Structure 1
Amino acid sequence: MPKPIRKWWGSVIFFHAIHQKPNHLHLTPRNAQTARWLAVIWAGIILVLSATPGQSLPRIDWLWQPDKWVHAGIYGILSALIWLSIASSATSPRSRWWWPIGLATLYGGLLEIGQFAFFPNRYFEVWDIVANFIGACVAAWLCERIINYN
């Protein structure tokens, strides 16, 4: 195939691929069970990171408020794992959204309170909870968009 046609055909395939509903990942009961365990392990990792004194964590100053991006990413992963663990057994489409978002945000909020009450050099920040919520929402939306749970 001549190079210009090959290049054009590649563009057509790419354009077609990005405009299709991407339900190409299938969720099985075994995957859901694995996701449950991974969610528990990930929640433990978040607890350890939340208990680490603030001075011991690496600092990245080149990105605007990297702390908030980290919160969004960490709780987004937790939300996605919760979504994966309940999606195939959820009784309604709303529960596929609200359980992961609610549990991830609640867990983050409780850890923020715990940081304030029990961990030295750690502080309660409302904006961390907002970042947790945003990360959880984005992850649940991506899961809903990408994964075939039927």
Structure 2
Amino acid sequence: MHKLFNHIPFKAKLFLSFLYIAIVMLLSLLPAQDLPKVPLFPYADKLIHIGMYFNLAIILLWTFHSKPTKRITLYAFILLWGLVMEILQILMRSGRHFSWLDILANATGLGIGILLYNYLINRFKLHKEASSS
């Protein structure tokens, strides 16, 4: 199965990465009144943040897989992306609010994504293939 994912062309991976980044941006910056009013349990939005940034980490690490030391740039990008989204929510004045808990949830999703990605790299010996591309 992992060979299937490794044979996807880089341009296709890059397209999927940008598409997902655009979706995260759209969901992060939509005005509050445009979001669906779905009754959820308290802090359910934090699970949504964790999920969005977990997926973002997996997609970007899959697209730009490289030596572990170079992955730090991706980790920093994802953390900064979440911070920028929170700051833009304030600046746009669209009924959205800056939240340190959202940033913590984003970082948690990133951390879980990193752990899973590294596990899969080691489990399926993808690191040899990853470091050669």
Which TM-score applies when normalising by structure 2?
A: 0.79
Amino acid at match of 2:62: L
Gaps of 5+ in 2: none
Q: Write out per-residue CA displacement over residues 61-99 of structure 1, whole angstroms, 9 at most, x where no aligned residue.
A: 23x411111011111111111100111xx2x32323x23
- Which residue does the alignment assign to 2:89? 115
Residues 1:141 and 2:127 aligned together? no
Amino acid at match of 2:87: I
| RMSD over equivalenced CA pairs, Å | 2.0
- Which residue does the alignment assign to 1:82? 60
Q: Is the 8 A contact 1:53 1:122 kept in 2?
A: yes
Pairwise CA distance, 1:32: 4.2
- Which residue does the alignment assign to 1:17? none
Residues 1:95 and 2:73 aligned together? no
Q: Pairwise mapping of residues 46-85 of structure 1 onto structure 2 (< 5 A)? A: 46-58=24-36, 59-62=38-41, 64-85=42-63
Gaps of 5+ in 1: 1-23
Residues 1:30 and 2:8 aligned together? yes
Question: In structure 2, how many angstroms separate the alpha carbons of the residues matched to 1:136 and 1:31?
Answer: 24
Residues 1:104 and 2:78 aligned together? yes
Q: Which has the larger radius of gyration?
A: 1
Which TM-score applies when normalising by structure 1?
A: 0.71
